[in-house]
Amino acid sequence: MLLAMASAVVIGMIVLGTFISPDDRGYGTHEKLGLPACAMMEITGIPCPGCGVTTSVALAANGRFLDSFINQPFGLLCAIGGVIFALWAFWSHVRGRDIYATVREFRLGRWSLWLGVAMAIAWVYKIVVLA
């Protein structure tokens, strides 16, 4: 299951990079996938913590890593992290390791804390950039 999820991440990024052009506003690329506009942005004018992540992933999938970082640093982190996870899962599978057991050994609380901090910093950055 984890290997399938990892593969889906890479396939999703390839699809984003091939078929969906990043929105010039720096957010809203998810709308091209048929998803609704960000309600928080529409109501308050302030971007939500995830605003720009899909756009940044699409930029990274197109090989525009600097643009991806400038647009939404957390989006680039997600793109790179997804690819690293997929490569790790595939390599672990090839070597016959139990991917689920290895993931359970990670200190997910600590990782979640650092990801939350990274997302919060990127959110403040996005608010400043769009102001």
Domain range enclosing 46: 2-130
pTM for the predicted model, two decimal places: 0.83
Quick one: pLDDT at residue 110?
80
Length of the chain, please? 131
Quick one: pLDDT at residue 67?
96
Q: Which helix (H) or strand (E) holds 63?
A: none
- Residue 74 near residue 118, CB atoms below 8 Å: yes
Quick one: pLDDT at residue 49?
92
Quick one: pLDDT at residue 105?
78
Residues of the chain with pLDDT under 70: none
The total of structural domains in the chain comes to: 1
CA-CA distance, 63 to 54, in Å (whole number)? 14
Structure tokens at 27: 């957010």
Contacts of 24 (CB under 8 A, 6+ apart): none
Quick one: pLDDT at residue 109?
77
